[in-house]
Structure 1
Amino acid sequence: MAALRACGFIVFRRLVPPLDNIEYLLLQTSYGTHHWTPPKGHVDPGEDDLTTALRETREEAGLGPDRLRVIEGFVRELHYEVRGRPKEVLYWLAELRDPGTAVTLSDEHQDYRWARLEEACSLADFKDLQDTLRAANRHLEAEQSKQ
């Protein structure tokens, strides 16, 4: 059975330097258990993964490619099962260019939250997503230490 494939972004914003003022965007689903997740969605036929991530982030959070700066050198692939079927999710990391930009939810989500790392990890019920958020934060710390 072929795995379902989805792609999205770990979106973050910097309120003011330094690093501990980074917040991550999580969306609360309007279905199922109302879990919290970064914007993501399924790959359409003929669509490449990064295009899917950009499209889904625009559809689910109202944040188009012009609002985001994709961070080089970060991509994580998660593997898990949904209703007995394997699923792969690729996440890139993207900074919101203007931290004051409004989030506009689709009907797939009922709420959103900007959260610092530990709060984001507590909202994200799944360990692999928590690990991905922490890896994103480590990547940003390493990027900042090079500057």
Structure 2
Amino acid sequence: MSESSMPQTRACGFLIVKGDPIESFLLMKHPSRWDLPKGHVDEGETDMQCALRELEEETGITADDITVDPSFRYELQYVVSYKKKFGGADALKTVVYFLARLDRDVELKLTEHGDAKWLPWNPPHDIQEKTINPLLASVAEYIASK
């Protein structure tokens, strides 16, 4: 099946950083990998609305706790295999990430992840080759160009 004929799914999330310049960034722990706070877009939701909702649901960080960088947006696509969704078929997933700085310390309230960690900002990073590494490289490049 070609990518253009696959079922499609869309998710949005945030790279949350601390400090100016950046000192650290937030990662969420799944059983077998690190990830960022993100989730699937609900019907009628914008990408930003989805990212803000997922951030609050997964971490307790609200829109009032962060400053979103209005100029940064990172999008990637990859094929995922779903066990239940789409009848077990592969789907083309688009993920949009936004960048935001945490304005004040917030006690994380984890609802979907076993752990979370603030990792030191020290590019280049080697965390997850397909998704997180290119996002972090894009943020490093973006910051260097400002």
Aligned length: 133
Structure 1 gap segments, 5+ residues each: none
Query: In structure 2, what is the equivalent of residue 8 of structure 1?
Result: 13
**Alignment correspondent of 1:86:** 92
Q: Pick the structure with greater CA Rg.
A: 2
Q: Which runs of 4+ in 1 moved over 4 A?
A: none
Q: Which of 60, 63, 66 is 2:61 aligned to?
A: 63
The RMSD of aligned alpha carbons is 1.9
TM-score, normalisation: structure 1: 0.82
Higher helix share: 1
Contact residue 10 and residue 93 of structure 1 kept, 8 A? yes
Structure 1 residue 140 corresponds to structure 2 residue 143: yes
Distance 1:43 1:120, change over 3 A: farther
Among residues 97, 114, 117, which one is paired with 1:113 in the alignment?
Answer: 117
Instruction: Write out aligned runs for 1:24-103 (5 A).
Output: 24-30=25-31, 34-83=32-81, 84-98=90-104, 100-103=105-108
- Normalising by structure 2, we get a TM-score of 0.82
Report if the CA contact (8 A) 1:11-1:24 is conserved. Answer: yes
Determine the C-alpha separation between the residues in 2 that align with 1:136 and 1:48: 22
Q: Matched residue of 2:125: which SS?
A: helix
Cα distance change on mapping 1:115 and 1:140 into 2, 3 Å = same
- Residue identity over aligned pairs, in percent, reads 34
SS at match of 1:41: strand
**Contact map agreement 1:117 1:134 (CA 8 A) in 2:** no
